[in-house]
């Protein structure tokens, strides 16, 4: 593939997982926006797709598309490493002076790209964060889980991620800073907020999915929530201390009541109190163990020092760039 020489370039990175059925529509929609943008601004572009271990015909679709689009590059990971790892692979492979990350299910409207680029080209913005102004149709449980996660995350880290997603534009210096981060387990939307730089927000309403269903099950969402919170903040560890203090306080009150009853000759069989005390003790211990195990697992993953992902194969467009 031949990119424009010595000119400003834009990379669009999209992780893909089992999206083979509509991938051609996604790439065509991007090309339909990026080609006119190039004509208007002279901004050359590339599209980088990352196959995160798909089990359908996604890679075959990518192979076909590289024969049709000169500006297309495709990466295939050796297995499913997760969306954040796929995003990391795309960011590390991207060559542009600015990099846009977005989903491949077409819920992120490509029509917003010119506005994102225009903000970046002013020179006053390093990160364009495209946030949902309202959530798409989803179950009541999903909404409650999302709202709860964002509120708890903000309390623990002070970062407000409400409405934030993976639809962003990053300046090259932000991408380089990202590449220098040492974590193995990544939380893209959180880390881009943590890194700072000059941010500008754009609000949007998500489009309907092009096809298929969301791959984010409740279990995967819970895992993401636990990983993101434990990787960003040590405050959950304080919960152990708080629970311990509350338990000590309760034990002191129960103990004083028992001693008073004994001293005044009113002591009776305290079966209910004993059971309640045992339940509270067990709950406190299990809660503390769960929190510690989450941090131990996170530390275990980091200490192993394994790469974030493994690359199995790459493809590049072979048509002559217009």
Residues 80, 140: one domain?
yes
CA distances from 13 to 64, 83, 96, 150, 169 (A): 18, 12, 10, 25, 10
What token pair was written down for 91?
A: 């960011």
Residue 206 in any domain: the answer is yes
CATH number, domain with residue 25: 3.90.550.10
Count the domains in the chain: 2
- In angstroms, the CA 66 to CA 49 distance is 10
Residues 241, 151: one domain?
no
Q: What is the CA radius of gyration of the chain?
A: 25
What is the pLDDT, as a whole number, of residue 238? 63
Residues 95, 206: one domain?
yes
* Residue 307: alpha-carbon gap to chain centroid: 18
Q: Domain of 55?
A: 9-215+308-316
What token pair was written down for 245?
A: 């203090």
- In angstroms, the CA 276 to CA 266 distance is 20
Residues 22, 167: one domain?
yes
What is the pLDDT, as a whole number, of residue 255? 64
Residues 175, 26: one domain?
yes
Residues 181, 59: one domain?
yes
Residue 99, strand partner residues? 11, 170
Mean pLDDT by 10 residues, the chain (322 residues): 58 89 88 88 89 88 88 91 87 91 85 90 88 64 67 67 79 88 76 82 74 58 64 65 69 67 61 64 71 70 74 75 36
Residues 312, 287: one domain?
no
What token pair was written down for 320?
A: 């002559």
What token pair was written down for 289?
A: 């163990």
What is the pLDDT, as a whole number, of residue 209? 65
Q: Name every residue whose Cβ is closer than 8 Å to that of residue 81 and which is 6 or more positions away in sequence.
A: 52, 53, 308, 309, 310
What is the pLDDT, as a whole number, of residue 254? 66
Residues 269, 200: one domain?
no
Q: Name every residue whose Cβ is closer than 8 Å to that of residue 93 and which is 6 or more positions away in sequence.
A: 13, 48, 50, 73, 75
Are 314 and 73 in contact by the 8 Å Cβ rule? The answer is: yes
- CB 113: neighbour CB atoms within 10 A? 23
């Amino acid at each position: 593939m031949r990119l424009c020489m010595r000119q400003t370039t834009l990379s669009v990175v999209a992780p893909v997982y089992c999206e083979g059925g509509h991938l051609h529509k996604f790439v065509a929609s991007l090309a339909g926006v990026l080609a006119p943008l190039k004509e208007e601004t002279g901004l050359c572009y590339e599209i980088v797709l990352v196959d995160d271990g798909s089990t359908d015909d996604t890679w075959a679709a990518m192979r076909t598309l590289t024969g049709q689009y000169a500006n297309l590059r495709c990466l295939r990971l050796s297995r499913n490493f997760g969306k954040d790892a796929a995003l990391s692979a795309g960011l590390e492979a991207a060559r542009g002076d600015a990099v846009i990350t977005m989903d491949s299910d077409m819920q992120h409207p490509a029509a917003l790209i010119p506005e994102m680029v225009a903000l970046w080209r002013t020179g006053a913005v390093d990160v364009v964060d495209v946030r949902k102004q309202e959530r798409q149709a989803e179950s009541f449980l999903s909404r409650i889980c999302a709202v709860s996660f964002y509120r708890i995350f903000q309390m623990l880290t002070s970062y407000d991620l409400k409405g934030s997603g993976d639809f962003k534009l990053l300046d090259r210096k932000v991408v380089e800073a990202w590449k220098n981060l040492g974590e193995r387990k990544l939380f893209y939307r959180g880390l881009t907020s943590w890194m700072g730089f000059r941010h500008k927000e754009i609000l949007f309403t998500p489009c309907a999915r092009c096809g298929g269903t969301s791959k984010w099950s409740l279990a995967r969402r819970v895992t993401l929530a636990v990983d993101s919170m434990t990787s960003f903040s040590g405050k959950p560890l304080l919960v152990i201390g708080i629970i311990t203090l509350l338990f000590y306080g309760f034990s002191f009150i129960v103990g004083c009541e028992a001693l008073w009853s004994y001293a005044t000759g009113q002591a009776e069989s305290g079966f209910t109190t004993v059971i309640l005390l045992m339940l509270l003790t067990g709950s406190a211990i299990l809660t503390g163990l769960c929190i510690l195990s989450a941090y131990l697992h996170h530390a275990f993953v980091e200490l192993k020092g394994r790469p974030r992902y493994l690359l199995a194969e790459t493809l590049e467009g072979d048509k002559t760039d217009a």
